[in-house]
A and B are shown apart, each in its own frame.
Chain A
Amino acid sequence: MSRIWMLVFDSTLQTLSMVFFSTLFSLILGLPLGILLSATSPEEQGGIIPRPVLNNILGRIVNVLRSFPFIILMILLFPLSRLLIGTSIGTTATIVPLSIAAAPFVARVIETALKEVDPGVVQAARAMGSTNFQIVRKVLIPEALPSLVSGVTLTIINLIGYSAMAGAIGGGGLGDLAIRYGYQRFRGDIMFIAVVIILVLVEIIQVIGNKISAKLLARR
């Protein structure tokens, strides 16, 4: 029995590490992309440096990446994992495709949040002589912060789901546990435990995210 709990414990840690790092890296990739998408959009949509062609190209790339089935994207990205990590199997290697799969999602979430900022406020900031960088850093991001937090919450929850899928192709974590033990060895109890832990993780993240978002709004 204790062996099972050790397995569960290890798998949970793997999932947490996958989700944490892929959230981090997808934010590093997606945040600038999201800002760029929002900034280059047409003026009437709140773009501060409208660049229709660039915006169109970026938008298409993001759409293609987002509509790609995740499992296939992962397989396609094996060579990249091998290049960056040295292997395409295991928790660390899975962080690469996870981050890349989530980045376009993050970009859209951030773009949407930034576009919600009142254009009048941006106009005021511009009229006061803000540089574009100052508008992004001191106006758009702080004004959109509650929506940004909700967006990041959503991203983390998605990544928990993706990380479980990654388990199916050698990624480790709770998904891997559920498939290898629960499905392939007919251990319904292990499958059940893995699924419950995933549900609990999602719930915890959602509650924390909502709390932070609400707290930010309450201060306004």
Chain B
Amino acid sequence: MQIMLQNLKRTYGTLHAVNGISLFIPSNTIYGIIGKSGAGKSTLVRLISLLERPDEGEVHFDDSRVDNLDKASLIQRRRRIGMIFQNFNLFSSRNAEQNIAYPLEINGTPKAEIKARVEQLLSLVGLDGRGKAPISTLSGGQKQRVAIARALACNPDILFCDEATSALDPQTTHSILSLLKEIQRKMSLTVVMITHQMEVVRDACDQVAVLNDGIVVEQGLVTDIFAHPQSEVTKDFLTHLVGIDETSASDDQMVHWSKKRGAYTLRFRGGTTDQPILSKITRTTGVDFNIRAGGVQKVGDVEIGTMLVDISGTEEERARAVEALNQMGVVVEEEELV
């Protein structure tokens, strides 16, 4: 199921929460939508999950327009959408299997069929035998697994993940993301992940749209965005990602040789750099590089290198060095000196 958004707008009072968003989310992918709080993510997700109607613009699932459905068709359409949340939003009055059974109950599935389907779903999310567990006895990761099972109960074509890993620790996040990727492949789902965590985009998404102030500032393949971030917001997210990796124990950690950040951030794609770029440039332009930090991140199958460096030399020499770097496919961002 592909999703197309045309010039979506939603205003609350004077706040333009979503201010003209057009996006194409292809079928059978994991699509990330990243933005800071207040960027319009929550509103956007409410619009595309049909919980709210846009003031202007259209939402299309495949070839049918869905933002103007009447009440009855809207309820039917929502039953073919799965959704998981940051706070899981499970029913505390029901145990794990009763939670998973809920969407089947409300669309009138026969009891025997529900029982079989719930067993199947519990095993799909790796919770065999925990069906009778009250929700309060489950860990965060287990709760999200129950929520995923519940979201998938009616064989949806779309799965929305609204900050689904934001309340989880890094390890649990990792296992939930792997589960989502596995399920996406198995069920050929279109998964839309709304998040403020660049790690989630890096680890799970094929494509991404970056949101800021209610508009899309950048979109494309995750590998491209990581290698060539265009907007300030995206660069900021990537910088933030470096910061997070500093403290986490993930294997693509940045190594810092110095507490001070470099004045320049170099980004390059693995494979394109099979040559001694820095020493070459040192020789041709006469500048010196002081490498303060460096690391490699795996984005999908592509490795993206990041290096924080200082470049010493005259202004002219530095400009020539930056140009030479650009020519060799390295993206250079200069810290603004205030």
Contacts and interface: CB of A to CB of B under 8 A. Distances in A.
A129 B78 contact: yes
Interface of A: 118, 120-121, 123-131, 134, 138-139, 142-143, 145, 219-220
A138 B135 CA distance: 17
B89 A128 contact: no
Given A138-B106, A220-B92, A127 B87 contact: no
B91 interface: yes
Contacts of B49: 127
Contacts of A120: 85, 87, 89
Nearest to B136: A220
A121 to B, nearest CB: 5
Contact of B89 (A124, A131, A145, A219): A124
B128 to A, nearest CB: 22
Contacts of B89: 118, 120-121, 123-124
The size class of the interface chain B forms with chain A is 20 to 34
A138 B94 CA distance: 10
A127 B83 contact: yes
Interface of B: 49, 51, 75-79, 81, 83, 85, 87, 89-94, 102-103, 105-107, 134-136, 150-151, 154, 160
B87 A129 contact: no
Q: Nearest 5 CB-CB pairs, A to B?
A: A129-B79, A129-B78, A124-B89, A142-B93, A120-B89
A220 B93 contact: yes
Contacts of B151: 128
A143 B92 contact: yes
A157 B185 CA distance: 58
B134 A139 contact: no
Nearest to B74: A129
Nearest to A122: B89
Contacts of B78: 126-129
A131 B160 CA distance: 20
A128 B102 CA distance: 9
B3 to A, nearest CB: 15
Given A121-B90, A220-B135, A134 B85 contact: no
Contacts of B87: 118, 120
Nearest to A143: B93
